[in-house]
Amino acid sequence: MRPIPIVFHVGPVQIHTYGIGLAITFLFSSWYLVKRFRDAGAPWRWAPSAAVWIIAAAILGARVVHVAANLSYFTANPGEIVMVWHGGLSSFGGLLFGVPTGIVLERRHCPDVSVGRALDLAAPVLAAGWGVGRLLGPQLMIAGGGRETAAWYGMEYAGSVGRRVPVPIFQSIESFAVFGAMLLIGRMFGSRPDGLLIAVAAALWGLARCGDQFFWLGTPGRWDPVEVAGLTMSAVGWASAVFLVWRARRRTGARLWLASILRTAR
């Protein structure tokens, strides 16, 4: 497949396809965040304005971490630090800045909703938004693919030589698989402990992100920070999920034990 144009013109104005894709992704994510809170009966009117701050923090964090990870290049080319339309947004940086910003705003505007429940409501939004963003962002930017390949599914990307592994498409499929898992868990386990969805989302997404880097993006035969971060996130996610389930079962057992004592006393 030939590369999709990364820029086009409307009169004298140059428009970057990558930026349009990210804008659509942010609009979708904002809408879905509001819908998740509203459908759950939780306060939601704060969410549209909060989404603007969360997105701004995520973009800032994504760019800061990317620049820090490639500091030698940007030290030699400081003018490119703000050129996000060339790509270069770290997913881990986006989470590092965006999630705490969301938590602070949630605690300020709806303190009656626990942090765990709020994160569970946001977890499918993160997964779905990441899936949409992969297709409408990196897929449409300079050098958006992975390693060179001769496989039938290889694609040509602007700024790259030869056919490349279409990593953004694969990542989108992975993200929607995580999204489906979130919806399935939410439907099957209505009485789940707060925080379980975000823990499982972190476990699955971190593992997928590590695999993407190891098989398609990173330097073969060498561990890099993205792989380590992905594995760490996955391990923390699984450990948190197990702990939450164990604690919920223990509390349920304690309540049943206390109820049996009260019945005996009567």
- Report the SS3 class of residue 45: coil
Residue 92 counted as domain residue: yes
Q: Find all residues with CB under 8 Å of 145, minimum gap 6, and list them.
A: 155, 157, 160, 164, 165, 166, 167, 168
Residue 205 counted as domain residue: no
**Residues 6/17, Cβ–Cβ less than 8 Å:** yes
Number of domains into which the chain is organized = 1
Residue 33 counted as domain residue: yes
pLDDT per residue of the chain (266 residues) written in tens, 0 to 9: 445 566 666 677 667 777 788 889 999 999 999 999 999 999 999 999 999 999 999 989 988 998 888 888 888 888 888 877 666 778 899 999 999 999 999 999 988 999 999 999 999 999 999 999 988 887 877 778 889 999 999 998 878 888 999 999 999 999 999 999 999 998 888 788 999 999 999 999 999 999 999 998 877 766 788 899 999 999 999 999 999 989 888 877 756 555 655 565 55
DSSP string, 116-145: HHHHHHHHHHHHHHHHHHHHHTGGGSTT-S
Structure tokens at 184: 């399935």
Name the amino acid, one letter, at 138: P
Measured CA angle at 47 (ends 99, 233), to 5 deg: 20
Measured CA angle at 67 (ends 210, 179), to 5 deg: 35
Measured CA angle at 49 (ends 43, 53), to 5 deg: 120
Q: Which pLDDT value is given to residue 86?
A: 64
Q: Which pLDDT value is given to residue 21?
A: 83
Residue 266 counted as domain residue: no
pTM for the full model? Answer: 0.86
Structure tokens at 203: 């476990």
Residue 237 counted as domain residue: no
Residue 63 counted as domain residue: yes
Closest CA to 164 of 217, 230, 211, 237: 217
Residue 103 counted as domain residue: yes
Which residue reads 């079962």 in tokens?
A: 249
Tell me the residue range of the domain where 151 lies: 7-189
Residue 89 counted as domain residue: yes
Which residue reads 């999630």 in tokens?
A: 99
Q: Which pLDDT value is given to residue 197?
A: 95
**Residues 113/27, Cβ–Cβ less than 8 Å:** no
Separation CA 81–CA 227 (nearest Å): 24
- Report the SS3 class of residue 266: coil
**Residues 198/247, Cβ–Cβ less than 8 Å:** no
